[in-house]
Amino acid sequence: MNESVVSKKSHDSNSTITNTTLPWLTRIKPALWLLPFALFFYLFQLAPMIWVVINSFVYYDQITLDNYLDVFDSAFMMQAFGNSLWLSFWSSIFGISVAAVLVSSLRRVDSKLRDGVIAFTNMSSNFAGVPLSFAFIIILGTNGAVTLLLKQYGLLGDFDLYGKWGLLAIYIYFQIPLAVLLLYPAFDALSDDWQAAASLLGANTRQYWVKVALPVLSPALFGTFIILIANAIGAYASVYALTSGNYNLITIRIASLVSGDLFLEPNLAAAISVVLMGLLAFITLINQWLIAKSYAGKKGSS
């Protein structure tokens, strides 16, 4: 009798310990699964960023702001920022415009054709860098097939693939697939019943898009636009392969400062990178403000 009572008490105590420790194990188990990702994120995201920020203030083994002063006092660096922003802005504008029309049209076509276009978009979004530059050289280079054909009929004019308009064409090419992939899920939020209801109320197609569709799509459009700008500003391989680093872009300048044989200045490159990160952060904050304003406008109208 006493043995049964003792065994029952020990069993109750073991179950009590299990019940008290099991919730703790349940809570910590997801965190343990996140440890590899946290380590990976630190090694490849946070650690390089911390190194860049710290070394941007180092100038001849002294902590100073001279690297930043050199960046803002250099007309050559300011030109690099201007060229990068010009290419990023206009390629994003053209890319998101073409992608919006394409995605809107895809919703009206047969599912097989739509799946084929999306598959081709996935493939073309990975076609960048040196292969993309080589393809453009073959097609639109000085002696490219399309270039010679258009010049024969006097349709090309003074187009130069290795200048800003040629670079803009390459940027637009790799911006469109990314914009399509980002906007395609957002357009599913549009219901065909909304357009039918708008037409019943007397609205034409333009009024439907201005008053109904674009306000609904505005957060996705703003977010995609910012991603496209960041994608274009960070582009390096395509431009370098096409121009051999002779066109003044901010990524070309950073690369030349960290890998140049004559002018190796990693601290100055770090300062340029910090300025670039600050610029992208400022653009992102504006994007978040516009998105919050659009959401507030929707709640107010509802």
Cα–Cα distance measured from residue 121 to residue 103, given in angstroms and rounded to the nearest whole number: 11
Q: Which residue in the block uniquely carries the two structure tokens 């995201």?
A: 45
Q: What is the pLDDT of residues 173-186, one digit of tens each?
A: 989 999 998 888 88
Cβ contact 152:257 at 8 Å: no
Q: Which pLDDT band holds residue 68 (cuts at 50, 70, 90)?
A: very high
What pLDDT does 295 receive? 59
How far lies 49's CA from each of 19, 42, 129, in Å?
A: 44, 9, 24
pLDDT band at 300 (very low <50, low <70, confident <90, very high): low
- Domains belonging to the chain, first-starting first, are 86-247 (1.10.3720.10)
DSSP calls for 276-298: HHHHHHHHHHHHHHHHHHHHHHH
Select the highest-mean-pLDDT range: 5-9, 29-33, 113-117.
Answer: 113-117
CA-to-CA distance for 138 and 149, rounded, in angstroms?
13
Joined tokens for residue 87: 């290419």
The Cα 80–Cα 29 span in angstroms is: 48
Q: Is pLDDT at 6 greater than 70 in this prediction?
A: no
